[in-house]
A and B are shown apart, each in its own frame.
Chain A
Amino acid sequence: MLPPRWSAPLLVAVLAAAVGVRAWAPVRDAVAQAPRTDEVSALLGRYGALAAHLPRDGPVGYQNEALLGQAGATPDLSRIGRRAILAQLALAPRVLRLRIEPGLLVLDLPDAAHARRVAAEQRLAIRHDQGDGLLVVEVPARVPR
């Protein structure tokens, strides 16, 4: 037995508003507490995951990096690796050096504490921490999406 038709819009509005407020409540908290993905964490997250796709045996594909460089339209492809990737991202003036190796990501950051925090946030295991910002992080074989 349904309520009268004339009451339907009001009932729907009240029900829907209650459901909507309830649905957004946890999002509000989650968004409010989430850290901003700054350029360094973006770099780690993105290219950490990219490195996970590279074969663990054998060299990093030269062609891959050339293509990345081309996407960034960088004129300097002579030392393709890190420069091309940085140019492709157009990111991270604070990242001094970056190298991707199969399964590993080598970072040289100006701030060691920041590098460690970012690696922890991205759940990347630290293989080597020199203390001055040079950080070698291990990239999982399959990064959760």
Chain B
Amino acid sequence: MISGLAAMAAVGACVLRTCRLRFGGGFARDGVFGLLALLVGAGLCSIGHLGGLALGGLPWWLMPAGLVVAALVAAAMRAPDPAPRRAEPVHARHPVEGLGIAVGWLALLVLGVQACGWIATYADLLPHGDWDAWAIWNVKARFLHAGAEAWPRVASTEMVWSHPDYPLLVPGLSAFLAAAGDVEPAEAARTVGLVLPILLVLLPSLALGALRGPAAGAAAGLVVVATPAFLLFGPHQLADLPLAAFTCGAFVAVALAGQGSPGALPVAGLCTGFAAWTKNEGLLVALAVVGVWVVTRPPRRWIPTLRAWLPFVWGCLPGLGALLLFKSLLAPPNELRAATTLGGFAGRLFDPARHALSAQGLWTHFTDQVGLALPLLATATLLLRLRPRAESADALRLLAAVLTLHLAVYAIFVTTPAEPAWHVSTSMDRLLWQQWPALVVATLLLSRSETAPTGPAGTLG
């Protein structure tokens, strides 16, 4: 399976290079690029593996090798890259400040290692994951692993419990890693479930470290580590953690683009497209991010803003294209959508009891599940000092986008055609956890920067 993970990283690194994201801008920045490369590589290798099956069952390594060659050729044909921007401290550091930063990263290391131990123990207790893992994602992965003849039956309506219309990024990734490592798909899913919690702690902390300085970076990692209910989703082998990773990757890349990293916007688009190809609700990420950027500007700026976001749209194409092909050629209609009529939808939308249930679900999630991590996030942002309002427009837009996603989850559970109490109790917390790392990133981006990248700033329209 190591060869599969290495192929993912190689594909992702080459694509990032083609997008003009270049390593060499400092430890935190390089770490962020490495993690984004892994995410982008995971999405592309999953899609490539499905493409190989559609073409009659190509060897697992052929698609990644083709993607690497194509990316390198595209990179060679582009103009020379600008030099990477290095982060420089903006003020001399007080000795206690330096001590605090060291204590923060040390605490993150200790708690993170301990968390890894418990996650690994938990994974050992759940070798086949939780309900959705065995009923949906790993069953689909087995079909994809069974070969070119069996894989189209992955969307068979005979297996209603496996939701035949669900997108295939996660099963495709399991099947790819299983083929690369010559193991069962469930074993590959277990590995992904162990890697993702680590990635979801490192990505916010390194991103904040690169964008706002090491104190904010340590705070971001510590806030995520303080939510075991979230990180323990890894061993459950569900698709919610991969979706959280792609959502977080998209938010981090948008923030990087706002600070002048050329090529970060198409990478944000790639992550957003892969979010849509991971779960149906992942489609909301693209709508929320672009929608917030457009509507927070005066109408005369809408067209120029959309033009500035075109690289993001190009980046969305692999994930959205795979989703479109799957939904139009193979997948049956979504059961919830099929059960929805306009009259029924309106009736549910104005039912106060459903609003009360959905609000209760939100409240329970943030008080029981997120717990003290939420006040910790707010306190850390305030202690690190808020940025001047004029400098925090992009961070506020990202926060608005993630809050829009929370509102969308609320609306989904108000209008669900399923029995609402059952639906809220079985799914709502998972959908809200999908936004958690993005919420941490967006909130801490409001804090004052300790470092400032040198060179020209970027523009998001």
Interface residues, chain A, with chain B CB atoms under 8 Å away:
2-3, 5-17, 19-24, 27-28, 31-32, 34-37, 42, 46, 49-50, 53, 61, 63-64, 67-68, 70-73, 88, 90, 142-143, 145
Contacts and interface: CB of A to CB of B under 8 A. Distances in A.
Nearest to A50: B161
Interface of B: 93-94, 96-97, 99-101, 103-104, 107, 111, 114-115, 118, 121-122, 124-128, 130-132, 134-135, 139, 142-143, 146-147, 150, 153, 156, 158-161, 184, 186, 214-215, 218-219, 222-223, 225-228, 232, 371-373, 376, 379-380, 382-385, 422, 426
A102 B340 CA distance: 28
B205 to A, nearest CB: 11
A19 B383 contact: no
Contact of B118 (A2, A16, A28, A90): A28
B248 to A, nearest CB: 19
B215 A12 contact: yes
Nearest to A71: B142
Contacts of A16: 104, 107, 218-219, 222-223, 226, 376, 380
Leading 5 A-B pairs by shortest Cβ distance = A9-B100, A10-B100, A16-B222, A6-B94, A13-B104
A22 B131 CA distance: 28
Q: State the main secondary structure of chain A at its contact with B.
A: helix
A46 B117 CA distance: 26
A143 B111 CA distance: 35
A36 B158 contact: no
Given A15-B379, A20-B222, A23-B227, 7 more contacts: A9-B104, A17-B107, A19-B226, A20-B107, A24-B114, A42-B134, A145-B426
Contact of B100 (A7, A36, A71): A7
A23 B371 contact: yes
Contacts of B127: 37, 42
A27 B232 contact: yes
Contact of B150 (A10, A32, A63, A70): A70
A28 B218 CA distance: 23
Nearest to B154: A71
Contacts of B122: 31, 34
B126 A37 contact: yes
Contacts of A34: 122, 125
12 contacts: A5-B384, A6-B97, A10-B99, A12-B380, A19-B373, A19-B376, A31-B125, A34-B125, A46-B134, A53-B160, A67-B156, A90-B184
B128 A42 contact: yes
